[in-house]
Amino acid sequence: MDQKNFVVSYQTFKSLNELSASDQELCLKAEEALKSSYSPYSNFKVGAALKLSNKQLVLGSNQENVAYPSGLCAERVALFTVGAAYPEAAVQAMAITAKSSNFVIQKPVTSCGACLQVMAEFEQKQKQEIEVLFYCIGGEIIKVKGIKNLLPFVFVEERLER
């Protein structure tokens, strides 16, 4: 038997003021994306903002449906918009934030496994890591470079690409 370990690399910031102007703008755009969230069942709004290599900013918000599996997370809404509208552009960075009318969010909310898998495939397709900011409004921000820091056993099967 071999024992192996993963090392996860990330940065934390106490507030928006500690971030670069570009990262601050991306976080604020993610907060702006909360306005278009359709979340009448959970009352849990999620917003995402993506910065592309062509200088475009793409926003996404979670979209719920009474048939729960039919909804979609903010990250995938934004990423699939990029795939449909800007297929040649690379996603350089993205910020994700959340807000609830039922409770106060006190720490950054991270992406679900399905979103991480989609993010990982974008990285593989564009051959470039994505910088991810998990932004707690009025609080801490976690910054991660590359999805493998979030999903070390990412599903990749090169034979399916043929």
- By C-alpha distance, which of 55, 51, 52 is closest to 27? 51
pTM, entire model: 0.94
Identity of the residue numbered 157:
E
pLDDT of 82 reads 98
Residue 159 lies in a domain: no
3 state DSSP class of 147: helix
Residue 5 lies in a domain: no
pLDDT of 154 reads 86
Q: Is 86 exposed, middle or buried (0-12, 13-18, 19+ CB in 10 A)?
A: middle
Q: Please state, in angstroms and rounded to a whole number, the distance separating the CA atoms of residues 24 and 122.
A: 23
pLDDT of 49 reads 98
- What are the average pLDDT values for consecutive 10-residue runs of the chain, which has 162 residues? 93 98 98 98 97 98 94 98 98 98 96 96 95 98 96 79 64
Residue 149 lies in a domain: yes
pLDDT of 162 reads 61
Residue 105 lies in a domain: yes
In which domain, by residue range, is 52 found?
11-154
- Whether residue 117 contacts residue 89, with contact meaning beta carbons closer than 8 Å, is answered with no
Residue 1 lies in a domain: no
Count: domains in the chain: 1
Q: How many CB atoms are closer than 10 A to CB 44? A: 17
Q: Please state, in angstroms and rounded to a whole number, the distance separating the CA atoms of residues 141 and 157.
A: 32
Residue 4 lies in a domain: no
Q: What is the CATH number of the domain that holds 95?
A: 3.40.140.10
Residue 3 lies in a domain: no
Residue 134 lies in a domain: yes
Q: Please state, in angstroms and rounded to a whole number, the distance separating the CA atoms of residues 47 and 62.
A: 7
- By C-alpha distance, which of 139, 77, 80, 84 is closest to 108? 139
